[in-house]
Amino acid sequence: MMVKFWGVRGSIPAPLDPIDYKNRILDIIQFSQNKFREEPNLTSEKIYELLPMHLKELIGGNTTCVELREGNEQIIFDMGTGARKLGYDMMARGITGDIHIFLTHTHWDHIQGWPFFIPGYIPTNSIHFYSCFKDCEERFVLQQQFKFFPLEFHQMMSKRIFHYLKQGDTFTLGGFTIKTEPLIHPGNSTAYRVERNNKSFIFATDTEFFGNELKKIIQKKKKFFYKADVVVIDAQYSLKEAEQKIGWGHTSMIVAVECAIAWKVKRLYLTHHEPAHDDYHTYQMYEEALNYLSKIPKAKLEIHLAKEGTTIEI
Ligand SMILES: [Zn+2]
Ligand SMILES: [Zn+2]
């Protein structure tokens, strides 16, 4: 299976602004000048390689949208603003016909990309929405009322089919076996475990794993997450923010790592990045999480930040 992150930001899009951009350029110039002083023969490419991650990489500002592919079969998770570019890419790749979109829930940051998703306007496309909300279609209609968007949901030219899923369901779609699991989030959210050829992928945002009940939660969710090859999980907050934002529905990066260790997950991708954090801040949290992980004896977990545009193989 192949997974591509089209949107990894939580809550609201957070593009790099002109001040951030200027500061980043200045930091890169400073870093390069220092390196040249130490070693005047360094090539530009070598200096690029030496840059700290928060200068070299861009986490990305689009909200949640993830694509899973195996051969000609595709599953999309959520329609955050990242779905806009996914739509262009699917058009360029000539993907038409039945398109399958699994929704964790319908908060804005998970559905706002839909009216900008070009495959939704192609008459020969059948878009299948899957969710644990019986009124999911109504929610999409509401989002696209004429007061808020120039074209209403039912005026879009594709065919749309809504599939209602129950929490805990297991079913197949093409060669994928998919299981649902409830998460802890205001208004509810659903995690999906997808299996194929003895490999497993879990998409689990938005969720709040925190508090006095954490040990119990970890135990309760163990069966669903157990030994997954790749888990993409909500890791929006620092530990301090998680304490301040109890009930907001998100997990701290360190607790996300703690959970994954207990569930014997192999690779963990931390996502739903806080829009108030710049890349420097997010990488600092990541360093703290790596440090936490390094102190757990015998932990075999690998952790990564989910970044827009990144592709991973499972
Ligand atoms: Zn969200
Ligand atoms: Zn949410």
Does residue 261 have a pLDDT over 90?
A: yes
CA pair distance 6, 308, nearest whole angstrom? 5
- 266 CA distance to ligand 2 centroid (A)? 26
- 133 CA distance to ligand 1 centroid (A)? 16
CA pair distance 244, 264, nearest whole angstrom? 29
Does residue 211 have a pLDDT over 90?
A: no
Local confidence band at 10 (pLDDT 50, 70, 90 cut-offs)? very high
Please report which ligand is nearest the Cα atom of 186. 2
- 232 CA distance to ligand 1 centroid (A)? 13
> Cβ distance 107 to 187 under 8 Å?
yes
Burial of 308 (0-12, 13-18, 19+ CB in 10 A): buried
The confidence score (pLDDT) of residue 164 equals 98
Q: What is the pTM of this model?
A: 0.97
CA pair distance 198, 203, nearest whole angstrom? 17
- With residue 230 as reference, give the H or E element that holds it: strand 230-234
Please report which ligand is nearest the Cα atom of 185. 2
DSSP character for 115? G
The confidence score (pLDDT) of residue 8 equals 98
- 178 CA distance to ligand 2 centroid (A)? 21
> Cβ distance 311 to 8 under 8 Å?
no
- 186 CA distance to ligand 1 centroid (A)? 10
Mean pLDDT of all residues belonging to the chain: 97
The confidence score (pLDDT) of residue 101 equals 99
Local confidence band at 296 (pLDDT 50, 70, 90 cut-offs)? very high
CA pair distance 304, 311, nearest whole angstrom? 12
pLDDT tens across 222-254, in order?
999 999 999 999 999 999 999 999 999 999 999
Which residues neighbour 127 within 8 Å (Cβ) at sequence distance 6 or greater? 99, 101, 119, 120, 158, 159, 160, 161
- 47 CA distance to ligand 1 centroid (A)? 36
Burial of 244 (0-12, 13-18, 19+ CB in 10 A): exposed
Q: What mean pLDDT is predicted for residues 196-206?
A: 98
Please report which ligand is nearest the Cα atom of 183. 2
- 177 CA distance to ligand 2 centroid (A)? 25
Query: Who surrounds ion ligand 2 at CB < 5 A?
Result: 107, 206
pLDDT tens across 143-183, in order?
999 999 999 999 999 999 999 999 999 999 999 999 999 99
The confidence score (pLDDT) of residue 104 equals 98
The confidence score (pLDDT) of residue 218 equals 98
- 252 CA distance to ligand 1 centroid (A)? 14
